Structure 1
């Protein structure tokens, strides 16, 4: 990973909930809706489930891990919550779970897919099976959920689908092939499916989004760290700790297996530097999901959004202007005088 490929924003980024994304401003805004949150037993997924519950949605917690803690947290907002054990790469099981959720909670209005893995291995030190498992967890699971839920949304002409992507989906990232490929696929699929919805006149009522959740210090893949500060909902605007301080994060290692780190010491060094940038409150992504589920960000539908950017500032540019400029989407550029022709 070359940190030099990343730009620096002239406008300060948000790293915690702000303005329209504050919990008190979204309380009850999704009242009565039914939400599925995949990977909701812990981490960002848990916070997303809580944010949706705060906004009034009844929440289905889908995870192979025990989601009872998330269920209790959601129910504290006086909404219904239920846990479902599911390997979301299992097509038949996912269909059954969706049917069960609709029997218990009702038709699904919101789907948020939050799960991922990163092996941190170059192709010369990996197996196809390892690479493909990463792709299945990150991408097959996303499409499996969409195929299970979208038909009902199309029939009712209403719904919001949010998928966790990554900045890795917009850059070349050696040593993270399965992760990068799958996150790029999520961004592209989001835009393409939204395009199909627009063709059927459903764009105003069904919205798809892919999100970069910011620099959240999570246990994704082999990134290892200790959180020395707990996340207590609702979030306060005191995260992150001062960069370089010992409060908040104590890193045990960079994100590569020992044999990879030994072969690529410069990559290991760069990863340690990269980890110091992970200082985004997971509540920011969570509240962004709750906000988008209300339909207030529908002019940004089909786009890839970095949750740290002020959503009001981005939306104010206007949908047609963003699309004309090719912003918030994947694109390929060429040297002068050449275009991406038909």
Structure 2
């Protein structure tokens, strides 16, 4: 029978056991459709072992009086590896709720990319390929905030951490055998950087797709985005419930100076045409219009690709595919299409030419640009020929 922890004492007792284990697998169920911050509804944990009644539990964060502090203490315990799959959203929740980022971290999606399972491989795919098992999808789109949880929901949730044990052990062994543990740890430094899980209102404008680089326009966009982010955070509502991106851009272009001017917008939600949202939007436009030109935000300067050699870019794509297949690593983990265009335009810096990426691909990419190697096809394989 599935064990569900609903008291702080029960959670503390399980976390005390977990503190002596080599690793713990972790997953969450949450809702975010109606809030800015994710509402944590369930946490699943499993220890090394096979007994689900002893080694795997569900934690109910919605249980009255339950504190997650024992769990956060476990996350701070650096003698226990915390294993997730596609951890980013889970880590954001724990950082917001507990001001903690679990360390040391192992992300099986990242590890699978390093081990050659493809780009952003899904959990179900790993379950099938590594455990020869399957995942019941029937409870995927469920309301995890409703109580009581059904047996089907509990079984579905628990499977997300019980299969993860075998997947972790398999991938960790494969990384160790191939000498690529350091490769994965390099990738995980980004995930464990707490700055990634904080959105400062003054930086919210950077998330928008902007086509104009007009300083005054960007100043208005920055103020509108900052107002929206602050309003959404303080009231815990989705930012698009305040004002959607297209409406924000429309207002930044029309620059209304009054509620009457604002009401002419075609894209504004009804709630944003009056009251505190409308007043906040007008005030934000005013701040943007009165901003000193010396403080105008600026879009990052894109790479100059006027010297891009299309033929070289195509050759680099062939080289990347060949080197990724040879190394058994997902192509996107080594270099992006944009990286290849940059190389072909003469920009020889970037993540692709550092660390393990340089060994796998970057050095040969630079040799190709210098005309020191050529590519030849033999059967199904691409060969590198010294020139």
What is the TM-score normalised by the length of structure 2?
A: 0.26
What is the TM-score normalised by the length of structure 1?
A: 0.28
Query: In terms of Rg, which structure is larger?
Result: 2
Give the number of the structure with larger relative contact order, counting CA–CA contacts within 8 Å between residues 6 or more apart.
Answer: 1
